[in-house]
Amino acid sequence: MKLLLKAVTIASAIVATQALAETWTLAPESSHLAYGTIKKDTVGEVNSFTGLSGHVTPDGQVEIQIDLSSVETNIDIRNERMIEHVFRKAGTASLKAKFDMAEVSSLSVGETALVDADAMLSLAGAEVAFDAEMFVARLSDTSVTVSTNDMVFISTEDAAVNTGVDKLMELANLPSITRTVPVTARLIFNMDGEQAAVTSAAPIAVAAVAGDTKAGKKVFRKCSACHKLAENRHSVGPSLHGIFGATAGQAAGFRYSSPLKESGIVWNAETLTTFLSDPRGTIPGNRMQFPGLRNEKDVSNLIAYLQAETPG
């Protein structure tokens, strides 16, 4: 939940160098908010909310709405009990925050930052203040992702839901349910309006990479089992032909994961450097199994080779 509010700060900070900041809107289909519980001391469960909405205004005001009726515990009767007894049929919970836009300098596409955030969660009449460290990544000129860098813990007592938890224990005949709840989130924000169209339409400059193409060819051997350079020659992974300047997840004829298709990333030297160093961390939930290249020279050499072999 806190990430939401950090996502906002990022979104606005990203456009801080522009004459006017833009409004950013949460993309619910690619965002995810989950929390965990432990019952009987040993049974762990992960629940989530599928109904999220929100935006960040040009002056840094963040407002996120969580549809409490969208809670998903994977058991219908348990969903109903959560809505009635824990959330007290409140309908929605809200998260509001105001960020100092100077806190985060503008990020280039592919750049990341760790940012501290303070937030206020309003739930069924109770207000819970909390802070968290957020991992923020600029996915494209018009998209940012914000995720919790560590788990955020919320007390059921602070949220004033202990009575509801007691009722769940009674109904399910459970000896215990955890009273401190870990929360994680992944939030995607997209730029609104005409500015997004203008930004997306801007020509993409492909900067030359100072790398050794011969060394990069050797590094590519690690990739060649899944990726080919020939046009439209897909394998386990998509063809890398013409990757520079292309939008992630859009090559015809290959079935991409939803997180990759919805990332909005435009591939260039910067975004490839970030992704190749940590594929799963850069786009959580994507299907690429390769853990990433840990050596910076290997990354720059590989990108130099790809630029030489398959220019955009």
Amino acid residing at 284: P
Residue with structure tokens 């994507």?
286
pLDDT band at 19 (very low <50, low <70, confident <90, very high): very low
The residue length of the chain stands at 312
pLDDT at 222 over 70: yes
Q: Can you give the three-state secondary structure of 160-196, one letter per residue? A: CCHHHHHHHHHHHCCCCECCEEEEEEEEEEEECHHHH
Are 2-198 and 213-309 in the same CATH fold?
no
Residue linked to tokens 């992960």: 46
Q: Taking every pair of C-alpha atoms in the chain, what is the biggest distance, in angstroms?
A: 67
- Fold of domain 213-309: Cytochrome Bc1 Complex; Chain D, domain 2 (1.10.760)
Give the mean pLDDT of 114-136.
85
Query: Which of the two residues, 20 and 193, has the higher pLDDT score?
Result: 193
Residue reference for tokens 């594929």: 279
List the CATH code of the domain at 2-198: 2.40.128.110
User: Residue 113 — very low, low, confident or very high, per pLDDT cuts 50/70/90?
Assistant: confident
Q: Residue 227 in contact with residue 237, Cβ under 8 Å?
A: yes
- Residue 312 is predicted with a pLDDT of 58
Q: Which residue type, as a one-letter code, is found at position 234?
A: H
Tell me the average pLDDT across 184-207: 62
One-letter amino acid at 215 equals: A
Cβ atoms of 22 and 191 within 8 Å: the answer is yes
- pLDDT category of residue 88 using cuts at 50, 70 and 90: very high
Distance CA 286, CA 186 (A): 13
Contacts of 76 (CB under 8 A, 6+ apart): none
Instruction: Kindly state the helix (H) or strand (E) to which residue 155 belongs, with its residue range.
Output: strand 152-155
Only one residue has tokens 């100072």, namely 210
For residue 172, give every residue at least 6 positions away whose Cβ sits within 8 Å of its Cβ, in sequence order, or none: 39, 78
Terminal alpha carbon distance of the chain: 39
Enumerate the domain spans of the chain. Answer: 2-198, 213-309
Mean pLDDT, the chain, whole residue set: 82
- Taking each helix axis from N to C terminus, what angle separates 296-309 and 213-220, rounded to the nearest 10 degrees? 100
Q: What is the pLDDT of residues 246-302, one digit of tens each?
A: 899 888 888 899 998 889 899 988 899 999 998 888 999 888 888 888 888 889 999
Overall pTM > 0.75 = no
CA distance linking residue 309 with residue 146, whole number of Å: 34
Reduced to 3 states, what is the DSSP secondary structure of residue 188?
A: strand
> What is the Cα–Cα distance from 311 to 159, expressed in whole angstroms?
54
Among 73-87, 139-153, 165-179, 235-249, the least confident range: 139-153
Rg (CA), the chain: 22
